[in-house]
Amino acid sequence: MSLRQLLSRRPDPLHIGWSVGTLGVSLLLNTFNAAVLFFLVTALKIDPFIAGGLITGSKLYDAFTDPLMGTISDRTRSRWGRRRPYLLLGGITSGLAFAALFAIPPDLEPTTLYVAVGVALVVLATAYTIFNVPYLAMPAEMTVDYHERSVMMSYRVFLIAIGTFLSLSGVPALLAWAQASLGYSPAEAHRLMGVIVGTAMAVAMVGSFFGTRGARATERTPDSLTAGQRLRLMLNNRPFLLFLGIKLTSLFSLASITATQFFFVVYVMQQSVGIAAIFGTAQLLGQFIGIPAWLALAKQRGKTWVLIWSTVGMAVMALTWLAAGPDEPLWVYGARGVLLGLASAGNILGTQAILPDIMEYDYRRTGLRREGVFAGMASFIEKTAGALTGVVIGGFLSAMDFDKAVPPGQQPDSALFAIMACTSLIPLSMHLAKLALLWFYDLSAEKLQATVRVT
């Protein structure tokens, strides 16, 4: 079926039902990345290096649970299929754990505070893994059409855009309103935010459980291969290894920007965190404009070119942060958001759409149905990027003399440079590395169809 036929067809309710879970994932990831370091440092008054270390520790733990969760979901048998039970369990627990994290009081004794934060981060990480790994495995089972996967993922990009907007615009606006209008302290404002966002993400995640009732699913394929043989087959999957590098560089750059966005607004631009709503709204607009254009390019030139050109756009956008400062007009700040939205729509669409292709490529080569393992490894890379971001950014801010007690306008130049580097220079280096990896990625529709079994 051609892409034009797919686009002219009524949306598949099952595809939309699956995609709605992405809204919960997007709310969780974007709000976490944007707010958690800022919350730990400014509301709980934890040193940036210690806060970054706590985040990194939870991410490292979480990363190593992902492949295990993938194997568990591959081997699960239930009346709801291999994956869907975990959407229900993970969705409910993720919402509760998110609210609990931002409800931690600031007046705890330091050791107790660190333990409370560490436990909350680990519980949230576990809940997210339970949901996300089986969730990522489902698209390869739900459709076998190369182009239909792109259209299916376009729904996901749309909902990622909504979630990103709510996280990067709604959350700072909510925090600013709670403090200015309700007289809440930073800790109280974050507690309110945690309850609202946690509830919304749980509803969306559980919605994907109900929305995928009747979706096409596959069963586990029994085999006599040893664990070593399975691992060798995976390591010989060249597109998958390149995908891991592409995803790592992409996520690290995005996490670096997101984690320092509030710091950038407050300390470099010397504005209220509430103006992040302007950037988020502009980014949403750019993503909506970009989705159909990137879909058309995917049909004409392939998914790899979507990733190449969107990465170039992300690199250009990263450079523009170097010109930002306290005197920058807000319309320039907003224009930067539009550019990021345009580029990120293609980046997200391309990255999400090639993973089901890689899962099918593995099945054609090996005869094994192990979508969960591949989803677990993809999630492992996601968590690794988050872990690296926490320790690198938190440590960098501390090393460059960022002082949590110093108000905007009085931070040393070294601290302002660190914030600028995390927003611009580090992401730029990641985009250049990703372009190098994309040069070697060649899993097209034709190559996928021509793939023959190697075992």
Closest CA to 378 of 392, 358, 350, 364: 358
- The pLDDT value recorded for residue 80 is 84
CB atoms within 10 A of CB 175: 25
What is the rounded CA–CA span in Å between residue 211 and residue 17? 4
- The pLDDT value recorded for residue 206 is 95
In the chain the first and final C-alpha atoms are separated, in Å, by 30
- The pLDDT value recorded for residue 104 is 95
DSSP string, 269-329: S---GGGHHHHHHHHHHHHHHHHHHHHHHHHHH-HHHHHHHHHHHHHHHHHHGGG--TT--
What the chain holds in terms of domains, given with CATH numbers, is 11-216+228-450 (1.20.1250.20)
Contact 160, 348 (CB under 8 A): yes
CA distances from 306 to 144, 253, 260, 338 (A): 21, 18, 27, 18
| R_g (Cα) of the chain, nearest Å | 21
For the chain, 455 residues long, give each residue's pLDDT as a single digit of tens.
Answer: 444 544 455 667 888 888 899 999 999 988 998 788 889 988 899 988 888 888 888 877 877 788 788 888 888 888 888 888 999 999 999 999 999 999 999 889 989 999 999 999 999 999 999 998 889 888 877 776 667 777 777 888 888 888 888 887 788 889 989 998 999 998 999 999 999 999 999 999 999 999 988 777 666 666 555 556 566 766 778 888 898 899 889 888 887 887 787 788 888 888 877 777 788 788 889 988 988 889 888 888 888 899 999 999 999 989 998 888 888 888 888 898 899 889 988 988 888 888 888 888 888 887 777 777 777 777 778 777 766 776 777 778 878 888 777 777 778 888 888 888 888 898 999 999 999 999 999 888 788 778 766 65
- The pLDDT value recorded for residue 3 is 44
Place of tokens 């590395």: 433
What is the rounded CA–CA span in Å between residue 178 and residue 171? 10
Identity of the amino acid at 392: V
Closest CA to 402 of 413, 388, 390: 413
